[in-house]
């Protein structure tokens, strides 16, 4: 179904077109008309099915622009999801001049209070802990909220937020509409729906099934510091026509793109910090075959539909099984064979098994090529280029060629040409900043405990039990952060975030390119 058939206004349709979306996903198609009509909705769908737009578009359309009060509240389990939702609302609501603010732990609460006071948002997005902080300080007034969204409700249950959710809902006394989204519907979630929702319409979207018979799926076991060199050797041996590399962060996109370019690969990257015009330009070049390699985050590659992609490289293991399905679905299209290669650190092996169980597909182990095999692959590509050149008219170069032959042997000249046409990447060292792996389910977070050097570290701070692998609050700048599947936000990194208002992963080394000969 087209978005034009869903009853959305012209401003929102313009924003949707600008984002490159044409057809609504099943969850959007079924949810948007119900939400526009003011009905309560329970949406059961997996991550990556377009839930954000399913609730964001009706909220934006139903806003009263003249009111300077909070009219909609969206609760997300983690700061990463809260930030992404706020960014999506901002993009979609730009023509509507919608005021959107996000609040989460780890950021300066004083700054948040000043912003809330000076420019009251129409839509407030936040994590449960920080929202409760503001409510107790009376720095947020939810009396005029008409719509409330509970996103990733089962994740909030796993993270011990259900009591917080009920406390927050008790402040929203005049709400007219509640939208609840969850991948699963355990009893506590159903209890919330029974207690706080009125005759909700149920929208169920089946989990994506992996129908990827034409995709050969491999994994490479490697330390984080080894991935880049191994990937380059794979390029040299596999010689992909068009390849997409998926990474976890914007910083990784920039680092890996610059590293590939330094080694002579025809690569470009896209992520959310780039302008829309820049992203469109890069994708246009990739579609036209003027780029060989596209480096992207999951968010930037949403809706990416490019024929001819022969290889997908998961430089960072996907954060949930649906993301894996989405990623490798970029190849193996239109009856063509495709290849996916996933890099897995030793600590992520059990998480990879979780993905295999849920997708019902097994990845085959792949042994990294040696340096000699990579060089052989480079020379094979270079010889093919020379053979293509020999088919062209070279008559205007013969005099200079004869002069060179007087001083050098034909073998030396051919060797120089091969060296020039192959990527002598062994002379270029590239360091990519290290990133903590996603553990599988992790261990139980500690119950109770201190405040972990910053705002609440979930599994510390508030005395809830957590199931993530890394305890939140690491480095003192994270609110309720988890890692690990079925931890927070399907394994998005919880610990190790640096600085207030920063959502770049901390730790590791700076990006460096240098010549080994120096």
The CA dihedral of 27, 30, 35, 39, to the nearest 10 degrees, is -120
Q: Is residue 72 part of a domain?
A: yes
Q: Please indicate, yes or no, whether residues 189 and 329 belong to a single structural domain of this protein.
A: no
Q: Please indicate, yes or no, whether residues 174 and 287 belong to a single structural domain of this protein.
A: no
DSSP code for 443: P
Q: Please indicate, yes or no, whether residues 174 and 108 belong to a single structural domain of this protein.
A: yes
Q: Please indicate, yes or no, whether residues 153 and 288 belong to a single structural domain of this protein.
A: no
User: pLDDT of the chain along its 518 residues, tens only?
Assistant: 788 899 999 999 998 888 767 678 888 999 999 999 999 999 987 665 678 899 999 999 999 988 999 999 999 988 778 888 998 898 898 887 889 999 998 788 999 999 999 889 999 999 999 999 999 999 999 999 999 999 988 888 878 888 999 999 999 988 899 999 988 888 888 888 888 899 999 998 765 444 456 788 999 999 999 999 999 999 999 989 999 999 988 899 999 999 999 988 999 999 878 876 788 789 889 988 899 999 998 766 655 667 789 999 999 998 777 678 878 888 876 567 889 999 999 988 888 888 887 777 889 999 999 888 878 887 888 888 888 888 889 889 888 889 889 889 988 888 888 887 776 555 566 777 776 655 443 333 333 333 333 333 333 333 333 333 333 333 333 333 333 333 333 333 333 333 333 333 333 333 334 444 44
Domain final residue, candidates 353, 369, 385: 369
Q: Please indicate, yes or no, whether residues 364 and 419 belong to a single structural domain of this protein.
A: no
Q: Is residue 232 part of a domain?
A: yes
Give dist(CA 58, CA 49) in Å, integer: 17
Domain final residue, candidates 369, 384, 408: 369
Q: Is residue 353 part of a domain?
A: yes
Query: CATH code at 29?
Result: 3.40.50.300
Q: Is residue 478 part of a domain?
A: no
For 52-80, give the secondary structure using H, E and C.
HHHHHHHHHHHCCCCCCCCCEEEECCCHH
Q: What angle (nearest 5°) sits at the alpha carbon of residue 15, between those of residues 52 and 492?
A: 30
What does the pLDDT read at residue 488? 35
Q: Is residue 312 part of a domain?
A: yes
In the sheet that holds 41-44, the strands lie side by side as: 100-103, 123-126, 72-75, 147-150, 177-182, 41-44, 201-204
Pairing of strands 100-103, 123-126: parallel
Half-sphere exposure of 413 (CA within 13 A, CB side): 12
Judge whether 496 and 483 are in contact, CB under 8 Å: no
- Kindly provide the residue ranges of all beta strands, DSSP E only, lying in 302-353, ordered along the sequence: 311-314, 338-344
Residue 372 has a CB neighbour count (10 Å cut-off) of: 9
Q: Please indicate, yes or no, whether residues 42 and 164 belong to a single structural domain of this protein.
A: yes
Q: Please indicate, yes or no, whether residues 356 and 252 belong to a single structural domain of this protein.
A: yes
Q: Is residue 458 part of a domain?
A: no
Q: Please indicate, yes or no, whether residues 142 and 197 belong to a single structural domain of this protein.
A: yes
Q: Please indicate, yes or no, whether residues 12 and 60 belong to a single structural domain of this protein.
A: yes
What does the pLDDT read at residue 260? 94
Q: Please indicate, yes or no, whether residues 181 and 298 belong to a single structural domain of this protein.
A: no
Q: Is residue 454 part of a domain?
A: no
Domain final residue, candidates 382, 400, 423: 423
Q: What angle (nearest 5°) sits at the alpha carbon of residue 309, between those of residues 305 and 314?
A: 95
pTM: 0.51
Judge whether 127 and 55 are in contact, CB under 8 Å: no
Q: Please indicate, yes or no, whether residues 195 and 219 belong to a single structural domain of this protein.
A: no
What does the pLDDT read at residue 337? 81
Half-sphere exposure of 168 (CA within 13 A, CB side): 27
How many domains does the chain contain in total?
Answer: 3
For 338-372, give the secondary structure using H, E and C.
EEEEEEECHHHHHHHHHHHHHHCCCCEECCCCCHH
Give dist(CA 267, CA 242) in Å, integer: 10
List the domain range (segments joined by +) for residue 281: 215-369
Give dist(CA 466, CA 480) in Å, integer: 9
Q: Please indicate, yes or no, whether residues 112 and 23 belong to a single structural domain of this protein.
A: yes
What does the pLDDT read at residue 351? 85
């Amino acid at each position: 179904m087209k978005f034009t058939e869903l009853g959305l206004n012209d401003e929102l349709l313009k924003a949707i077109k600008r984002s490159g979306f044409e057809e609504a996903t099943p969850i959007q198609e079924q949810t948007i008309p119900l939400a526009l009509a003011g009905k309560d909705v329970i949406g059961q769908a997996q991550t990556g099915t377009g839930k954000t737009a399913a609730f964001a578009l009706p909220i934006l359309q139903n806003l009263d622009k003249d009111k300077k009060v909070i009219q909609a509240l969206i609760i997300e389990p983690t700061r990463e999801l809260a930030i992404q939702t706020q960014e999506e609302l901002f993009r979609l609501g730009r023509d509507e001049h919608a005021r959107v603010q996000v609040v989460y732990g780890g950021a300066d609460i004083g700054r948040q209070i000043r912003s809330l006071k000076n420019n009251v948002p129409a839509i407030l997005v936040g994590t449960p802990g920080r929202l409760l902080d503001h409510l107790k300080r009376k720095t947020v007034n939810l009396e005029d909220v008409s719509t409330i969204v509970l996103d990733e409700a089962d994740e909030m249950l796993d993270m011990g937020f259900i009591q917080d959710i009920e406390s927050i809902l008790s402040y929203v006394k005049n709400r007219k509409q509640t939208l609840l989204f969850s991948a699963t519907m355990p009893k506590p979630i159903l209890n919330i729906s029974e207690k706080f929702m009125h005759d909700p319409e149920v929208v169920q979207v089946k989990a994506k099934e992996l129908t990827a018979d034409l995709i050969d799926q491999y994994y490479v076991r490697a330390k984080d510091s080894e991935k880049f060199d191994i990937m380059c050797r794979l390029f040299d041996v596999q010689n992909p026509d068009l390849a997409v590399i998926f990474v976890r962060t914007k910083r990784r996109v920039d680092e890996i793109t610059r590293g590939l370019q330094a080694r002579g690969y025809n690569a470009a990257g896209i992520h959310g910090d780039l302008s829309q015009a820049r992203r469109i330009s890069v994708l246009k070049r990739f579609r036209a075959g003027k780029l060989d390699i596209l480096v992207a985050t999951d968010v930037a590659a949403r809706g990416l539909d490019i024929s001819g992609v022969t290889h997908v490289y998961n430089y960072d293991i996907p954060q949930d099984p649906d993301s894996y399905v989405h990623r490798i679905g970029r190849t193996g299209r239109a009856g063509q064979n495709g290849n996916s290669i996933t890099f897995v650190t030793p600590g992520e092996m059990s998480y990879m098994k979780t993905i295999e169980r849920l997708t019902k597909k097994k990845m085959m182990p792949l042994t990294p090529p040696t340096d000699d095999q990579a060089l052989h692959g480079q020379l094979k590509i270079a010889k093919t280029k020379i053979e293509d050149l020999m088919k062209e008219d070279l008559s205007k170069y013969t005099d200079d060629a004869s002069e060179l032959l007087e001083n050098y042997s034909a073998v030396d000249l051919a060797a120089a040409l091969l060296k020039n046409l192959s990527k002598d990447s062994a002379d270029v060292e590239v360091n990519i900043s290290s990133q903590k792996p996603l553990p599988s389910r992790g261990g139980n977070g500690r119950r109770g405990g201190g405040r972990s050097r910053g705002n609440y570290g979930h599994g510390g701070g508030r005395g809830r039990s957590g199931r993530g692998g890394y305890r939140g609050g690491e480095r003192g700048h994270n609110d309720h952060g988890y890692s690990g599947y079925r931890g927070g936000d399907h394994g998005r990194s919880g610990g190790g975030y640096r600085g207030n208002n920063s959502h770049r992963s901390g730790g590791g080394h700076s990006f460096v390119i240098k010549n080994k000969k120096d």
